[in-house]
Amino acid sequence: MLGFLVGAALFGLTYQQVFPVISGIANLGNVVIPDLWNVSSFLFIALFTLIALLLFYLIDRAGLKRKEK
């Protein structure tokens, strides 16, 4: 708990100096992942769907289900 408080205090004290630097580096404007990776939006949606279906299949095969109360 002490680590959370110390981290919050350090963040609050250094915010004014650190945020503009980080914001200048990471500010890419309004972009989406397919634009960042330079791929078609439809290709990205298809890949994301396939990965999600694969994960659902693997979870089902592993038997990771909610326990009944």
What is the number of domains present in the chain? Answer: 1
pTM of the entire predicted model:
0.53
Q: Compute CA 52 distance to the chain's CA centroid, rounded to the nearest angstrom.
A: 15
How far apart are alpha carbons 23 and 32 in whole angstroms? 18
Mean pLDDT of 4-19: 93
pLDDT score recorded for residue 46: 96
CA distance 59 to 7: 36
Q: For residue 6, tell me if it sits in a domain.
A: yes
Structural domain boundaries enclosing 51: 2-62
Q: Is the pLDDT of residue 69 over 80?
A: no
Whether the predicted pLDDT of 12 surpasses 80: yes
- What average pLDDT score do residues 10-26 get? 89
Give the alpha-carbon dihedral of 4, 10, 15, 20, to 10 degrees: -100
The pLDDT score that the predictor gives to residue 28 is 77
In a domain, 68, yes or no: no
- Reported as a single tens digit per residue, the pLDDT across 38-50 is 999 999 999 999 9
Are 34 and 40 in contact by the 8 Å Cβ rule? The answer is yes
Looking at the domain assignment, is residue 9 inside a domain?
Answer: yes
In a domain, 21, yes or no: yes
**Cβ-Cβ contacts under 8 Å for 32 (sequence gap 6 or more):** 41
Does residue 67 lie in a domain region?
no
Residue at 69 is within a domain: no
